[in-house]
Amino acid sequence: MHETDGLHIVARPFGSLFPDGLMAVHNGGAPGPADTADVNGYAYDSSTNFKLVNFKLPF
**Over the stretch 42-57, which tens digit does the pLDDT of each residue have?**
877 776 778 899 998 7
Contact 27, 6 (CB under 8 A): no
pTM metric for this prediction: 0.60
Q: Residue 44 falls within a domain, yes or no?
A: no
Distance, in Å, from the CA atom of 18 to the CA atom of 37, rounded to the nearest integer, reads 33
Distance, in Å, from the CA atom of 54 to the CA atom of 25, rounded to the nearest integer, reads 11
- β-strand partners of 9: 23
Provide the domain count of the chain: 1
Q: What is the pLDDT of residues 1-27, one digit of tens each?
A: 466 778 899 999 989 999 999 999 887
Q: Which residue range(s) make up the domain with 53?
A: 1-29+49-59
Distance, in Å, from the CA atom of 53 to the CA atom of 32, rounded to the nearest integer, reads 22
Amino acid making up residue 28: G
Question: Is 90 exceeded by the pLDDT of residue 32?
Answer: no
Q: Residue 38 falls within a domain, yes or no?
A: no
Q: Which helix (H) or strand (E) holds 8?
A: strand 4-10
Q: Residue 25 falls within a domain, yes or no?
A: yes
